[in-house]
Amino acid sequence: MQRLSAALLVTSCLLVFAGCGGGSSNGPGTEFVKAPKRIFTIPSSAMEPTLNCAKPAQGCLGTTDDRVVVQPGKSLKRLDIVVFRTPQRAAVECGEGGTFVKRLIGLPGETVREDDFGNIWIRGPDSKKWVKLREPYLSKARRLADTEHFGQTWHVPPGKYFMMGDNRGESCDSRVWGSVPAGDVIGLVVKIIRTR
């Protein structure tokens, strides 16, 4: 199965559809985003069905690639969708690197475990107790689609985050290439732009 990462293409200006420079009128399909927000495009199925990429690419459900508006500097919490620069190891392990979008699963100092049914369990830095992560955005079929990581455990170092894609079978994520340094986080996804 081809494993696609959720690499993102950065638009070169802060306008959706309208391109860069010139023009003072708000034509059809133009949306302005106040700085310092940024817009990224979703070209892979690693976050399906939460974020769509365009058919006929493998696993994509949309007619066009979704775009996400990202707010740099926002505080992050578990289950947020985040855009970040990937560790160098991602390019080696996934066949591509750069900028990804994933869901924040593990916080600094925590331990993350995936059981034999694809459920994620979290243990806090000073705890012996495992807590099952509630993931309402993830279907049982998607949870069971990737058995490669069943039974594995990962420690999240201080100052780093553990990221996973919603489409587990198509997501090359922290389970493969490790945690993301806080300094590599670009920002929190605050809006999804989907056109039909």
Residue 142 lies in a domain: no
Number of domains the chain contains: 1
Cis-peptide, bond into residue 49, ω within 30° of zero? yes
Kindly state the DSSP code that residue 43 receives in the 8-state scheme: -
Residue 154 lies in a domain: no
Residue 122 lies in a domain: no
Query: What residues make up the domain containing 73?
Result: 9-105+160-193
Per-residue model confidence as pLDDT tens digits over 147-156: 999 999 999 9
Residue 121 lies in a domain: no
Which residue in 49, 66, 50, 38 sits closest to 187, CA to CA? 38
DSSP annotation string for 133-160: PP-TTS-HHHHHT--TTTT-EEE--TTE
Of 2-6, 158-162, 167-171, least confident by mean pLDDT is 2-6
Per-residue model confidence as pLDDT tens digits over 114-159: 999 999 999 999 999 999 999 999 999 888 888 999 999 999 999 9
Residue 124 lies in a domain: no
Residue 30 lies in a domain: yes
pLDDT for residue 76 is more than 90: yes
- CATH number of the domain enclosing 23: 2.10.109.10
Residue 168 lies in a domain: yes
Phi-psi region of 98 (alpha: psi -120 to 50; beta: other; left: phi over 0): left
Cis-peptide, bond into residue 157, ω within 30° of zero? no
Residue 176 lies in a domain: yes
